[in-house]
Every structure is written in C-alpha cells, then in structure tokens.
A and B are shown apart, each in its own frame.
Chain A
C-alpha cells in the first residue's frame, strides 16, 4: 500500500444522480478516484460509497471538506486503515489448454481460497475476494496461463468493532447545529 493512498467512506442520500455528484466533484477539483464501490445500506434511503484515492495531506483534507458541502452527503470519513477491513471481489476467466494447467490452476484456487463458478471445455471462471494485494498475487499467478478477461469491483471497507460510520452522522449534526451548509 503506497503511503499516499487513502480510503473515504461516505453515507449519502439514495437519490438518483448522487453518484454523478460525487464523481463530478472529484473530477472538477482535480482529485483521483482509483476505485469506487456503492450500494444501499440497511436503511434503503441511504447508500454507502467507498472511494479509494491517492494524494498528499492537502488532497485528503480538501476532498473530505468539499464532499461534506454536498447536500446529499451525510457523513464523510477518512478511514483509519488500522481499524478497517477492506475487501474487493474479482471474477477472472482463464484458458485451459490441457489437464496439467487445469490441475495447477485448481491447486492455486484452493491455496488462495477462491471458488470456481464456471467451467467450460476451454475456460475456467474463478471468483475470489480479499485485499488488493491478495487479488494482485492471484492475477500474477494466473497470467502465464492466459487470462481471457477479468472484472474487479473496486474496494469496499468497513470499520472494526465499534467503528461505525452512521454514528458519525449524529456527531457532525450535534457539533454544527443544523446541517446548514
């Protein structure tokens, strides 16, 4: 993990166009989105967006401040990576030419604790979840066999134990009075 990488988790109103607002803000302020994942939370009117980005302290601070100005954003948290669990999902399709490569691939699947989700005479499709480094190691291992295609979801993250994002909404609202900005 490079030292200037950071992870932002946010809770936003589940309104049409909210993702456009967030990604548009990154674009026009000159910030980078390395990966993005989004989905509804246990409260269907709220979505959770996780963005992996990189940049120095100036960028880290500014992007969080700018995001908080958006009306649809309820909470922005620069995740404390030491107290955060990160996961990404990868679907990868490998060519199988002969039985040797197939068994070697199966071995790797077991070692990496991945799953085979599709099998055809010419290819094998594998599902694997884990941290970025694990996925990259897996891809590196499979590459010589011939990867036909792969798709990654981008990282999502959740805090450990009592590190709960929605409790931060009340903190922000209480310290600021009304969320007037």
Chain B
C-alpha cells in the first residue's frame, strides 16, 4: 500500500507492538500527530509538560515493563529537551526509541526556524541515531532502530525525520518482527576457564548489577549463589534483583553501601561480577579493589571487560544464559570456613545501619512505606540523599520495581519516570524525592493529575541540596556554598494548586497514619516530610577510598 512517511511511523510502531508513546507536539511533527489522532484507538499518547518529562517517562516505562519506551518530540527546542533524558537512558542502558521531527530537507543547514542538528547533538549519548532524508528508507530505519534499542546491551536510539519526508509517499508492506532475538553464543573455552576459576577459589563473592535486572536473571542468580554458597552484594542498579531478606545477600556495596557487603568483598579472593560495569561509585580505590583477588566478569558488552577494572577471566553474553551454563557445568559449595567468616561479619555492630529514631527521619518514613506496600508497587526516586536512603532502607519486593537514575544521576528524573512506571504497569507508584530534585521537574505533577495516576510523592524537605551539603560538611569545611535553599514553597498548597492531594508530615508518631491515607488515595498525593538538613547518608567510603576509610558515624 502507498503510505505517507507519517503513516509509516504509525505502522512501524504498531508492527513493534507499541501501544503507548510519550511526547509533545510541535510544528515539524504535525503530520505524525495527525496520524496519531487517527490511530488513537490503537496507540495511547501521553502528553507531558516538557519533553524532558516525556523522555524520562518513556524511560521509566521501559525499566518497569522491559518493553522499548517511545518518545516523540518536535524539532529544535523539542529535540534538545530530550537530551538529558537520552543521556540518562544511555548510561543506564534503557531501551528507548526517540522520534523527532526536523525541518524539510531543503531547509536543513540554513538555521531555519526550530532547526537543530539533533543527530550531531545526540551522537555521543545514543546507541545509534539516524536522519532519514528519503521516505523509502523510513520503514527499514524504524525497524532497525527498535532492534538496536532492545538487543544486546539496550540503549536509546534516535530517528530524526524531516517534515517533507513525513509527507512524502511510498510503498509500505508490513513485516513481522522476528519473534525472539538470537543470543550471542558463549565461548566454550571462556566457560571452561570460568568454571575452573570458581572451583579454585576459596572465598568467592558475587557482585551483581543492573544487567541482572535487564536480563531478568534473578532466578538464575539466586540458584547460582545458593549452589556455590557464596555471599552476594549489589551495585545500586542491581537492587531489587534479589529480595533483601535472602540469606546470602549482604546488600549494596560501594560508596554508600553496607559495611558487611564491602567488608566481605575486601576479604574475597574471587569476585564473580554479573551484569555490572564497575562504576567509580562502586569500586572506590580501583587498585585496591583488584588487588589480592581475581575478577570473573560476566557481561553482555565486551567493551566493559577491562574498561574500569582488569578481569582475570570473562564470559561475554547474556547473563541469564551465562549463569545457566555455569549452573550446568557443575560447581560446588565454597568452604564452610568462608561462610562462617561471612556470618561473623554480618553480626558485627558496624554492620548495622540506623538513624536516630527520636525524630522524624527518612529511615522511618521509607521503612513505613515498605511495610505498607504491595509487591506490585513501583518505587522511584530522584537523585541525592533521599535516593541513597531509599537504596539503603527500602526492601524491594520484585525485580524491576526500583526506578532510579544511576549512571547520569539526574535530578528531576523522578516525576517523569514515576509517571512512565505507573502508565506501564497500572500499579501504584511511590516517588521518593526531595525539595531540590522536585523543583526541577515538578511541572509534571500536572501530567500525573490529568491522568489521575495512583502516584504517591514523598518529598523529604530539608530546605537544602542535601548530598552536596553533606560533602561540604565532610570535605569543604562546612562552607555551604549555594546549598541552603531559601525557598518558601508550600508543597501542600503547590500540590493542591496542581489538583493533587497534599499532606504535611512533621510528627514522627503520625508517620503510619499519614502514609496510610496517602497510599490509599485514588489520584496523585504529595506528602511533605520535614527532615533535618544535618541528616547524613552513612556509611560512606570517600571517593578513591577503601573499606579502611569507611565512615560509619557522622
């Protein structure tokens, strides 16, 4: 059949099984939006307040559902507004396809109204991008874009479509999307070497990251850990892959990780790294991290092996598949003395976190939400102290339930991401945020209200940029440069102005009741919890530090 470029966009989306897109209309995407209008019974479009919110929403949608998120934006400022969201998706390996309009081909390169070289701008922050100047290539490009976004190590792909290409006509034929992706074959020699390495180790430690969540490999990971009898620790992005109560799970490692997890890692002779990239937040002092132990790096991206930390051996491939092969290769339990050593460290007093329960504190709030939550809820955060507290104190109940900006650490990610998660799953979403992060993209509260989403925003208000302030306290002689916010925002009134519910929480004895009310509400509710600006995220291993530098009390 003969279709216009804009119609081909819709057909390509339907071919991919897309039923939800996020976006914001504009001049150069009028044709696409016209077709979206006609296809509104098949594709649901969510309009946000800002393209950044739409990109974060597509991201949150992808993280919780495992599907590829789609965001549509117009040219110029619309496209540039997606940049932060794309960089965020790139660093956390989220599958996203961004479709932007551009000015007509003859006008490109002449500083036309709302023209930007978005492919140039986004080259470093996308897995790949395209500008389609010939409508005959459009269908193939869109199919390829989805394939690239969702295969191997996922990531964002941008497709820029000039307006005249959207209007041009060509033949189109539906093509079925290949049912399952062919996985890379794992090299048998590498597998043999890995099995031997594990067999020879006396003190193995399993360190897992976001790759386990992306690969849906929780079951295999736990089976593997149990078979080996090895303790496990995770990066922040790995959280939720393993239930908090699992006897072998020691918690998050790294800069703000648990003492026991980092201590046991420092005593291990083999780190089995599964689906992680050894970010500087996680390793601390790199040479100390790799000293006195070997690393077996299991990851789908060969470029990660040796990039930050040298690996003694590696298994390149899908981690679910790799773990399955290791299980089948026959590995045995590690020595009993190692397990005893681990238990001893777990019971040390330094292993216990806790805030001062005499006042209203973030730990009490987070733990109460956890207590009241259902297994199918989504937990999102913004960035900063509240994010670290959530990672430390919330006991995630199912994989993919934790939505947080890891690699880019984007303040303002939360509202859009929470909206995407709520839309994608239809389940209640709790957003832990703070006054700093919330002010960045709070406009999206209007979006949440317009969709009547089951969204509970828990805003920890300390009238400061908490994490930066903490560093200024610890490393900059308490010189609080631009971190004390002299804002007078009344968050309850603000929420109500958007049409949401608002509750202020100041009394620690009212936590349970206030949260119960907020978590039962039908539409969006914001709870403002007033907390102490001197509250610190602890433990902390300072940058480039080791377990010996760990700060337990502040």
- CB within 8 Å of B: which residues of A? 17, 20-21, 24, 28, 58, 61-62, 65-66, 68-72, 175-178, 180-181
Contacts and interface: CB of A to CB of B under 8 A. Distances in A.
Identify whether the interface residues of B are mostly helix, strand, loop, or mixed. loop
A72 B129 CA distance: 10
A112 to B, nearest CB: 42
Contacts of B124: 24, 28
A24 B123 contact: yes
26 contacts: A17-B119, A20-B120, A24-B123, A24-B124, A28-B124, A62-B306, A65-B303, A65-B307, A66-B303, A69-B127, A69-B301, A70-B128, A71-B148, A72-B128, A175-B187, A176-B185, A177-B182, A178-B181, A178-B182, A180-B183, A180-B184, A181-B151, A181-B152, A181-B153, A181-B300, A181-B302
A31 to B, nearest CB: 13
A67 B128 CA distance: 12
Nearest to B128: A71
Given A24-B124, A71-B127, A181-B301, A62 B307 contact: yes
Contacts of A68: 302-303
B89 to A, nearest CB: 16
A177 B184 CA distance: 6
A69 B304 CA distance: 11
A136 to B, nearest CB: 35
B309 to A, nearest CB: 12
Nearest to B120: A20
Contacts of A17: 119-120, 123
A7 to B, nearest CB: 20
Interface in B146-169: 148, 151-153
Contacts of A69: 127, 301, 303
Interface in B295-315: 300-303, 305-307
A21 B127 contact: no
Interface residues of B, number: 23
A25 to B, nearest CB: 8
B322 to A, nearest CB: 15
Interface of B: 119-120, 123-124, 127-128, 148, 151-153, 181-185, 187, 300-303, 305-307
A165 to B, nearest CB: 20
Contacts of B127: 69, 71
Among B152, B187, B301, chain A packs the most CB atoms within 10 A around the CB of: B152
A17 B121 CA distance: 12
Contacts of B302: 65, 68, 181
A77 to B, nearest CB: 16
Contacts of B305: 65
Contacts of B300: 181
Given A58-B306, A61-B306, A20 B301 contact: no
B181 A180 contact: yes
A30 B149 CA distance: 25
Contacts of B182: 177-178, 180
A147 to B, nearest CB: 36
A57 to B, nearest CB: 10
A61 B306 CA distance: 9
**What is the predominant secondary structure among interface residues of chain A facing chain B?**
helix
Given A20-B123, A71-B127, A71-B128, A177 B185 contact: yes
A5 B128 CA distance: 29
Contacts of A180: 151-152, 181-184
Nearest to A174: B185
A67 to B, nearest CB: 9
Contacts of A65: 302-303, 305, 307
A45 to B, nearest CB: 13
A155 to B, nearest CB: 25
B410 to A, nearest CB: 19
B128 to A, nearest CB: 4
Contacts of B152: 180-181
Nearest to A178: B182
A92 to B, nearest CB: 35
Contacts of B120: 17, 20
A21 B181 contact: no
Given A61-B306, A65-B305, A65-B307, 18 more contacts: A17-B123, A24-B124, A62-B303, A62-B306, A65-B302, A66-B303, A68-B302, A69-B301, A71-B127, A71-B128, A72-B128, A175-B185, A177-B183, A180-B151, A180-B182, A181-B300, A181-B301, A181-B302
Contacts of A66: 303
Nearest to B127: A71
Nearest to A71: B128
Give the most central of A71, A178, A180: most B CB within 10 Å.
A180
Contact of B184 (A24, A61, A71, A176): A176
A70 to B, nearest CB: 7
Contacts of B123: 17, 20-21, 24
A66 B305 CA distance: 11
A70 B151 CA distance: 13
Contacts of B181: 178, 180
Nearest to B316: A176
Contacts of A176: 184-185
A61 B300 CA distance: 17
Contacts of A20: 120, 123
A124 to B, nearest CB: 40
Contacts of B301: 69, 181
- Which residue among B124, B148, B303 has the maximum number of chain A CB atoms within 10 Å of its CB? B303
